[in-house]
């Protein structure tokens, strides 16, 4: 292996540069040589040098990319199809758009997950500080006034004592749970554990379906544009899927298409596409422009995903702030009211 697997941005940049080079009438090997001479990154030089070395021995770009193990199988297979069909420039251009779309979806998902986690972490930290550091101060005040905490205030004070005394144990338990989750996640393949948990929540299940449909439509647009038949398109596009439920639908759809059923009808019957997307696929199939329609469907799904996640973030932010305010207020009021009552009686 010459380099770790390239990310979506790097894949899009590589394919975009190759598309420009090929459309200018420059051969693949000459183009990669030019890219190697112009780059300042040692890692990129190492990767491009490995590609050139393998290309000299095999004579095929797809096998050279495969040997580096820095490119996903889907890109390698599409490169092979482009070389064999003589349309490598168009394939590379489409791959660049495809990985741009993948990166946009990935960023949307990351923002939708990371921001709430940060807010939740801050909220938990504030509450822990109140329980561990602030509540003992109030306890001393009560003792100096000749009384003691009771009710909710006493319960919160005891919770703070437990957190303070067993902090290391609690951290180790949480770390063990996290490690166990990651181990199961990595061993289950394609994030099936996350999807199994998420399928029980309607909003998460809907988002997973939209993301899977977007990736499927993007893959189908690329493979259909390359001149593959529907069976081959479905087989390659399945490799992009990470949703187990969506995978079952695709498998059933592929079997029907292999038996001679129309692709758009099968997509609709298995609810891979619904509503306006199903109608668009049907019209595109009848008009003989299913590849371009699939690209439009992928763009529409991408916009839907981005809008949906942004709307959720707009709801989550004030919700977390309200929850934090209520919890902090409840903690402080649980000691302030009794304290004010004692002060007023003096």
Nearest to 235 by CA among 77, 76, 29: 77
**Domains present along the chain, CATH in parentheses:** 8-88 (no CATH), 100-346 (1.20.81.30)
How many angstroms separate the Cα of 238 from the Cα of each of 166, 187, 234, 242?
A: 48, 20, 6, 9
Give yes or no for a contact between 233 and 254, defined as CB atoms under 8 angstroms apart: no
Cβ atoms within 10 Å, residue 153: 23
Q: pLDDT per residue over 300-309, tens digit each?
A: 888 888 888 7
pTM: 0.69
Give yes or no for a contact between 35 and 10, defined as CB atoms under 8 angstroms apart: no
Give yes or no for a contact between 150 and 202, defined as CB atoms under 8 angstroms apart: no
In the chain, pLDDT over 70 holds for what percent of residues? Answer: 93
- pLDDT at residue 186, rounded to an integer: 64
Q: Residue 122: which pLDDT band, with cuts at 50, 70 and 90?
A: confident
DSSP-derived secondary structure letter, 25: T
Q: pLDDT per residue over 240-272, tens digit each?
A: 777 788 888 888 888 888 888 888 888 888 888
What is the rounded CA–CA span in Å between residue 186 and residue 236? 23
Two tokens, residue 159:
């919770």
- pLDDT at residue 254, rounded to an integer: 87
In the predicted model, is pLDDT for residue 190 greater than 60? no
Average pLDDT, whole number, for the chain? 83
- pLDDT at residue 16, rounded to an integer: 92
In the predicted model, is pLDDT for residue 1 greater than 50? no
């Amino acid at each position: 292996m010459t380099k770790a697997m390239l990310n979506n941005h790097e894949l899009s940049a590589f394919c975009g540069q190759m598309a420009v080079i090929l459309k200018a009438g420059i051969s693949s090997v000459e183009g990669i040589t030019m890219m190697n001479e112009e780059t300042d990154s040692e890692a990129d030089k190492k990767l491009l040098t490995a590609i050139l070395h393998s290309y000299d021995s095999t004579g095929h770009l797809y096998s050279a990319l495969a040997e580096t193990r820095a490119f996903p199988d889907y890109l390698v297979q599409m490169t092979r199809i482009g070389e064999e069909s003589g349309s490598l420039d168009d394939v590379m251009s489409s791959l660049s758009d495809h990985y741009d779309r993948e990166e946009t979806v990935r960023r949307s998902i990351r923002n939708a997950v990371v921001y709430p986690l940060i807010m939740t972490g801050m909220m938990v930290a504030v509450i822990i500080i109140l329980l561990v550091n602030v509540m003992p101060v109030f306890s001393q005040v009560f003792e100096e006034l000749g009384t003691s905490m009771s009710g909710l205030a006493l319960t919160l004070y005891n919770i703070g004592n437990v957190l303070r005394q067993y902090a290391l144990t609690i951290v180790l338990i949480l770390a063990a749970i996290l490690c166990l989750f990651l181990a199961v996640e990595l061993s289950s393949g394609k994030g099936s554990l996350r999807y199994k948990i998420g399928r029980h929540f309607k909003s998460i299940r809907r988002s997973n379906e939209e993301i899977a449909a977007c990736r499927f439509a993007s893959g189908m647009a690329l493979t259909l544009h390359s001149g593959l038949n529907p069976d081959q398109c479905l087989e390659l596009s399945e490799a992009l899927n990470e949703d187990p439920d969506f995978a079952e639908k695709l498998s059933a759809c592929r079997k029907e298409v292999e038996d001679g059923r129309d692709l758009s009808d099968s997509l609709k019957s298995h609810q891979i596409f619904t509503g306006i997307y199903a109608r668009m696929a049907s019209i595109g199939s009848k008009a003989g422009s299913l590849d371009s329609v699939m690209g439009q469907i992928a763009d529409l799904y991408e916009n839907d995903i981005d809008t949906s996640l942004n709307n959720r973030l707009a709801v989550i932010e004030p919700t977390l702030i309200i929850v934090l305010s209520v919890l902090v207020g409840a903690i402080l009021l649980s000691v302030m009211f009794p304290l004010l009552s004692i002060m007023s009686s003096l």
